[in-house]
Amino acid sequence: MQSQHELWQAARQDPQAFWGAAAQDIDWISRPKQILDDSRPPFYRWYSDGSLNTCFNALDRHVLAGRGHQVALIHDSPLTQSCTQLTYAELLDEVSRAAGALHALGITRGDRVVIYLPMVPAAIIAMLACARLGAVHSVVFGGFAAAELAARIDDAQPKAIITASCGLEPGRIVEYWPLVSQARELAEHRVEHVMLLQRPQHEVDTKDSGVVDWSSAVRQASPVAPVEVLATDPLYILYTSGTTGRPKGIVRDNGGHAVAMAWSFANIYGMTANDTWWSASDVGWVVGHSYIVYAPLLSGATTVMYEGKPVGTPDAGAFWRVIQDHGVSGLFTAPTAIRAIKKEDPQGAFIGNYDLSSLRTLFLAGERLDPATYEWATDHLGVPVVDNWWQTETGWPICATMRGVPSAPIRIGSPGHPVPGFNVQILGESAAGEGPGAVLAADAEGAIAIELPMPPGTLPTLWGDDDRYRESYLNTHPGYYNSGDGGFIDVDGYVYVMGRTDDTINVAGHRLTTGSMEAVVASHPMVAECAVIGVSDPIKGQIPRAFVVLKSGAAIEPAQLQEEVVALVRQRIGPVAAMKSVLVVPALPKTRSGKILRRSMRAIAEGRDEPVPSTIEDAGVLDRLRPMLTELTELTELTELTD
C-alpha cells in the first residue's frame, strides 16, 4: 500500500492520472474522458465532459447492490428523547418522494432551494432531494438571523424555501417561522414557494395559503427518478462570511465533489461501508455537508445525525453515550466540544461509564487544536486523535494524518502533512502586480497558500461572482489560492496553522500570531480554554491580552494565574510577546459552530463599531465582556510586570 507521501507525490506529478483513477469509485452516467480542464485558468474544472447524479450515488446504487437493508441514517436527539433509524431503502423512498414534492412545485434542474432546518432527518432528505432533481441547495444554519437569511435569499435567488416551525436548544425553543417571515419581507427577491415542517414541540399557524406542509406533501408525492447533470453543474451553495459584510457563496460542483468525498472518507478518515460514522457538527456548516451527509452516504456507511450538545444533554457523558449506543467507529468534532467536556469533567470520569471499544479514531477540526486538548483526549480515550485542517472553500481536508494509508506519526500542534492534491506553500509578502510572494524556508512564518489547480471538490468560483473569487482568493499570490491563514512548514514537512492572518499582531515591530500565544496559555493546568487578542498600545503598537476560562473546580487567585501564565509566555515565546494581562472570564463569546469571536473582541477593545455576527451562540457573553474590553488600560493594575 502506498504511503501518504507517495500518494501526494503521485497526485503532484500526474494529477490527471491520480484523479482519473479516484473517479472509478463513482457511478457515472457519462464517464469523463477529460479529467482536468485547464483551458481557462484560474478557473479550473474537473471531469468537465462527465455526467452523473449525486443522489443516485449516495442512495440508489447501494440499494441496487442489495444493501438496502443497511442503516443509512441514525437520528439521535436527546432534546426530544428520541432515536430514529432509516435504512438505505427507506431513505431512498423518503428522498425520492421529497424530490417528487419539490418537482410538483416546479423545481427543476438548476433552480435554487434554500434549506433552513434544524438537525432533523428532513434536512438531509431535502438536500438529497435537491440533488436528485439537479436543483442547487443552499443550506442556511437554522436559527440564523432574519437579515442574514434575507441576504442569502437575495444572492441565491431561490425558487423555494424549506423550513421548520422551530429548532430546539437545551431548555428552550427557537421559533423559526418569525425569522423566515421577516427574512422574506426584507429580501428583495420574492420566493415562490415555502415548505414547512411542523414540529410537535411548537406548531405554527402560518395564515399563508401559499405555504405547503412538508410532511403531507412528501407523503402524498410520487417518487421521481434521478436527473442527469454535468459534473461541473453546481450541487450546492454554502455561504461564508465576507470581509465586506456581504456573504460569499461558495460553489460546490457535482462531479469533483463526489470523487473527493468518496476518496477522502476512505483514505483520510479510514472509513468503510461497514462503519458507523459520526460527525458532531450541523448540516448548516461545511463539515455537515461533507461528513454528515455526502461522504458517508456516497461510501455506503451509516451516518449519525445528533441533535444535542456535548454537555448539558444531559451531561458531559453525552458524546460517549452516542458512541456506545450506535457503535461509532469514527467521531469528528471541533476542539471546542472536547474542551467543553474537559471543563465539566476534567478527570474524564464519565468516559469510564461507557463502552467505547468501537471507536478507532477521534478527528478534530474547525479551529486550532491546542496541545492541552489533544493530550487530554489522547490520554482519556486511548485512540489516535487526528487534527485536520481545511476550510469551507476547500470542502475537505488540506492537511491531515491520513488513517486509511500509512502516514507519518502525529505531531502535536500540527494538523499533519498536506493530503494528495494540495501543494501547500508558505509565501512571503507580495508586491501588487509583481507575482506571488517568495516561497519561504522551513520554519519561517508566512501566508499559507495552495498552488493551483486545487484538487476536485474545492470551490471552482463564488456564486455569480467570478471577479470576487479572484479578488478574495487569487489576486494576492497569482497562481495560488490564498487561504487567509498564516503558519509555517517545519523541516519534516509538517504544516502548522497559527491562525487567520488578521490574528497576527505587531508588537514593537515583531510579527507574532495570537495562536502561538494561545497554545502556551492553554497549556496552564488550570485553563480550560482561552482567547488572545492584540489591542492598540501607544508604545509597542499592539500588545496581547489573554482571556481565560478556568476548568471546573479550579481554584487559583487571578493575580497568581496571571503571573504564572505571563511567565509561561515569556519562557516559551520570549519577552518580545509583551504578555502582561490575563483575565479570568466565565465564558468566551462564540459562534454556534464553536469559533471564538476574536474579531468582535478586538473591535470592542479598539473602540470600533463592528457588527456582531448573527451566528453568535450567546450575545450576553460578549455583553458581559464589553466593560473589560473597553477598559483595557486599567487591566494592568492587576499585576504590572515589566519586560
Q: Do both 206 and 273 map to the same domain? A: no
CATH code (residue 349): 3.40.50.980
235 contacts 53 by C-beta, under 8 angstroms: no
Higher pLDDT pick, 413 / 244: 413
Q: Residue 426 corresponds to which cell in the numbers above?
A: 508558505
Strands 302-306 and 248-253: unpaired
Distance CA 110, CA 234 (A): 8
Q: How many CA atoms lie within 13 A of 82 on its CB side?
A: 9
pLDDT > 70 in the chain, percent:
93
What DSSP assignment string belongs to 575-596? GGG---EEEE-S---BBTTS-B
Confidence category of residue 432, pLDDT binned at 50, 70, 90: low
- Local confidence band at 431 (pLDDT 50, 70, 90 cut-offs): low
The rounded distance, in Å, linking the Cα atoms of 478 and 492 is: 27
**HSE-up (13 A, CA, CB side) for residue 11:** 23
- Whether residues 93 and 220 fall in one domain: yes
Q: Is 54 part of a structural domain of the chain?
A: no
Domain count, the chain: 3
Residue 353 is classified by DSSP as: G
Q: How far apart are CA 63 and CA 178, in angstroms?
A: 40
Give 331-386 pLDDT, tens digit per residue. 999 988 998 899 999 999 999 999 999 999 999 998 778 888 999 999 999 999 99
Query: What pLDDT, on a 0 to 100 scale, did the predictor assign at position 56?
Result: 99
DSSP state of 229: E
The C-alpha angle with vertex 380 and arms to 379 and 385, in degrees rounded to 5, equals 65
What is the rounded distance in angstroms from the CA atom of residue 388 to the CA atom of residue 262? 17
Q: Which three cell numbers stand for residue 473?
A: 482568493
What dihedral angle (degrees, nearest 10) is formed by the CA atoms of 220, 226, 231, 234? Answer: -10
- Report in angstroms the alpha-carbon separations of 68 from 64, 328, 343, 534: 8, 20, 42, 55
Task: Give 495-558 as a 3 state SS string.
Answer: EEEEEEHHHEEEECCEEEEHHHHHHHHHCCCCEEEEEEEEEEECCCEEEEEEEEEECCCCCCCH
pLDDT digits (tens, 9 = 90+) for 109-158: 999 999 999 999 999 999 999 999 999 999 998 877 888 899 999 999 99
Would 67 be classed as within a structural domain? no
Of 176, 195, 227, which residue constitutes the final position of a domain? 227
What are residue 473's phi and psi, to 5 degrees?
A: -125, -25
Do 273 and 387 reside in the same domain of the chain? yes
Joined grid coordinates for residue 487: 503558519
Domain match, 167 and 279 both = no
The alpha-carbon radius of gyration of the chain (Å, integer) is 24
Does residue 283 sit in the same domain as residue 364? yes
User: What cell was used for 366?
Assistant: 474547525
pLDDT tens per residue, range 503-515 = 777 675 566 778 8
Identify whether 518 is part of a domain.
yes
Cα separations in angstroms, 311 against 326, 336, 344: 19, 11, 8
Output the pLDDT for position 207.
76
| Domain end position, chosen among 200, 227, 254 | 227
| Pairwise CA distance, residues 121 & 170, whole Å | 19
Burial of residue 421 (CB within 10 Å: 0-12, 13-18, 19+) is buried
Question: Are 102 and 160 a contacting pair, CB within 8 Å?
Answer: yes
Residues 591 and 613: beta-carbon distance below 8 Å: yes
Task: Indicate if the pLDDT at residue 298 is higher than 90.
Answer: yes
State the Cα angle at 202 between 194 and 318, rounded to 5°.
110
Residue 282 confidence (pLDDT): 92
Contacts of 565 (CB under 8 A, 6+ apart): 520, 521, 524, 527, 546, 548, 579, 582
Asked, for residue 150, whether it belongs to a domain, the answer is yes
pLDDT of residue 576: 72
Residue 435: its pLDDT value, please?
A: 82
Higher pLDDT, 179 or 245: 179
Length of the chain equals 643
Dihedral Cα 627, 628, 629, 632, nearest 10 deg: 120
* Whole-number Å distance between alpha carbons of 324 and 4: 31
Structural domain of residue 379, as residue ranges?
269-395
Pair 207, 319 in one domain: no
CATH number at 590 reads 3.30.300.30
Give residue 603's pLDDT. Answer: 77
Compute the average pLDDT of residues 299-309. Answer: 97
What percent of the chain has a predicted confidence (pLDDT) above 90? 74
In this structure, are 216 and 345 located in the same domain?
no
Residue 127: which of 324, 294, 330, 353 has the closest Cα? 294
Mean pLDDT of the 66-95 span: 98
Residues 163 and 281 in one domain: no
Same domain, 202 and 326: no
Reduced 3-state DSSP string for 369-416: CCHHHHHHHHHHHCCCEEEEECCCCCCCCCEECCCCCCCCCCCCCCCE
Residues 284 and 359 in one domain: yes
Q: How far apart are CA 81 and CA 319, in angstroms?
A: 15
**Cell matching residue 256:** 469533483
Nearest by Cα to 400 from 225, 268, 566: 268
> Does one domain contain both 108 and 204?
yes
Do 93 and 223 belong together in one domain? yes
Q: Is residue 587 part of a domain?
A: yes
Query: Is the pLDDT at 57 greater than 50, yes or no?
Result: yes
